[in-house]
Amino acid sequence: MKKELTFDKAFNDLAELVEEIEDDEIKVDTLAAKVKQANELIKFCETKLRTIKTETTKLRRGK
């Protein structure tokens, strides 16, 4: 069973990835994979935030 990704989980995973990416001893091949994963999490978080902004704007306008 695959668990649905939440904003909090994605954000926490992203924070961990940033720490790993900033490690001076990270291998280039590992770095590329970590950066790709981080980009995917960033896109997920951005989409989630845009969706929430749209929903709250609609609620404020009474739609």
pTM score: 0.83
**The Cα angle at residue 3 between residues 5 and 14, in degrees rounded to 5:** 35
**pLDDT (mean) for 32-38:** 96
**Pick from 12, 6, 5: nearest CA to 38:** 12
Q: Tell me if 16 sits within 8 A of 38, measured CB to CB.
A: no
Residue 2, pLDDT score = 62
**pLDDT (mean) for 3-13:** 95
Residue with tokens 């951005």: 46
Residue 63, pLDDT score = 66
Residue 12, pLDDT score = 98
